[in-house]
Amino acid sequence: MAATAAAAGGIVVVFDFDKTIIDVDSDNWVIDELGFTDLFNQLLHTMPWNSLMDRMMKEIHSHGKTIEDIAEVLRRIPIHPRVISAIKAAHALGCELRIVSDANMFFIETILNHLGLKDYFSEINTNPGFVDEQERLRISPYHDFTQSSHCCSLCPPNMCKGLIIERIQASISKDGSKKIIYLGDGAGDYCPSLKLTAADYVMPRKNFPVWDLISENPLLVKAEIHEWINGAELERVLLQIIERISTDEISSNSAQLLSADCKLQTISIAAHEGLPQPLSVTQ
């Protein structure tokens, strides 16, 4: 177990949040549960989604709903229990866990804190969500598209997950060779899937937008593709990939140690018998 955990330390598991960690879209869940679906649908095509959610929070508060009302709804959000056990198991094995989500920080942290999962994640990349001085929830874009564009045609204006993955790749490259396992469901998870390398793994949720996009031309994705359907399958597939990576890493390290040991034995025998040492050693 200790050896497996050490090997799994070279794995970064990146989760989408909505319909990946939780079973629903958190934005829609809050709007529907608080009774503002009709207004949301009326405004849906008038502004970007991220801007719409900020507008909806203003509307919700103007009708007397409080921060605690929103938090209470979030604490009832559906999540498959096997997703919770998968997160805990991956963390226990030594994997680093991160979130890349187009939800918002208030929603995600409220849910994770309620589930006791917040400390399992080293980083949460999402749209800022904060409580202002009037005790109202405000939601702002991860990328301020009113000032500049992130220039990605595949992603919504407020967030390019591909750029976030590139930043994660740059940060973990300093720690040596690490592999990424990326899990997602939506169209926004397609761009980061294209950024992964042949050493990485992508887990698209079957029959969801990202799976459809990958299936249209799987050769565009360099990473190894492993689909999943529900929370139970997410856990099974994720842990199988972690075990496979860890086993390969342990085997590779053992082979390197064996090779180094053989070289030392060759040097020792050569020195003892007065034979010329290997060229690579004498240079």
Domain coordinates in residue numbering, the chain: 2-24+80-134+146-244
Determine which of 57-61, 142-146, 161-165 has the lowest per-residue pLDDT on average. 142-146
Pairing of strands 201-204, 224-225: parallel
Q: Of 42-46, 143-147, 222-226, which range is least confident?
A: 143-147
- pLDDT given at position 273: 56
pTM metric for this prediction: 0.87
pLDDT-derived band at 24, boundaries 50, 70, 90: very high
Inform me whether the pLDDT recorded for 141 exceeds 70.
yes
pLDDT of residue 95: 97
Contact assessment for residue 28 and residue 22, using Cβ atoms and an 8 Å cutoff? no
Q: Integer distance in angstroms from the first to the last C-alpha of the chain?
A: 40
Whether 102 has a binding-site annotation, put simply, is: yes
Asked if the model's pLDDT at residue 78 lies above 50, the reply is: yes
Across the range 247-254, mean pLDDT stands at: 76
Catalytic entry in 18, 25, 189, 200: 18
What is the rounded distance in angstroms from the CA atom of residue 226 to the CA atom of residue 241? Answer: 9
**What is the distance between the alpha carbons of residues 158 and 50, in angstroms, rounded to a whole number?**
7
Contact at 8 Å (CB) between 92 and 1? no
Please state which architecture CATH assigns to domain 2-24+80-134+146-244: 3-Layer(aba) Sandwich (3.40)
Instruction: Please check the confidence at residue 281 and state whether its pLDDT lies above 50.
Output: no
> 174 pLDDT band (50/70/90 cuts)?
confident
Average pLDDT, the chain: 90
Cβ neighbors of 170 (< 8 A, separation 6 or more) are none
pLDDT in tens, 80-100: 999 999 999 999 999 999 999
Measured between alpha carbons, how far is 240 from 213 in angstroms, rounded to an integer? Answer: 24
18 is known to lie in a ligand binding site: yes
Per residue in 120-136, pLDDT (tens digit) is: 999 999 999 999 999 99
185 is in an annotated binding site: yes
In this predicted structure, the answer to whether residue 278 has a pLDDT above a threshold of 50 is no
Give 154's pLDDT tier (boundaries 50, 70, 90): very high
25 labelled ligand-binding: no
Query: Was 23 annotated as part of a binding site?
Result: no
Q: How confident is the model at residue 269 (pLDDT cuts 50, 70, 90)?
A: very low
pLDDT, residue 180, reads 98
Contacts of 65 (CB under 8 A, 6+ apart): 34
CA distances (Å), 33 to each of 28, 43, 68, 73, 109, in order? Answer: 8, 18, 14, 7, 19
User: Minimum mean pLDDT among 54-68, 111-125, 143-157, 263-277: which range?
Assistant: 263-277
**pLDDT value of position 173:** 85
* Whether pLDDT at 270 is above 80: no
18 is catalytic: yes
Decide if 16 is catalytic: yes
Structure tokens at 64: 């007397």
Radius of gyration, alpha carbons of the chain: 23
pLDDT of residue 146: 84
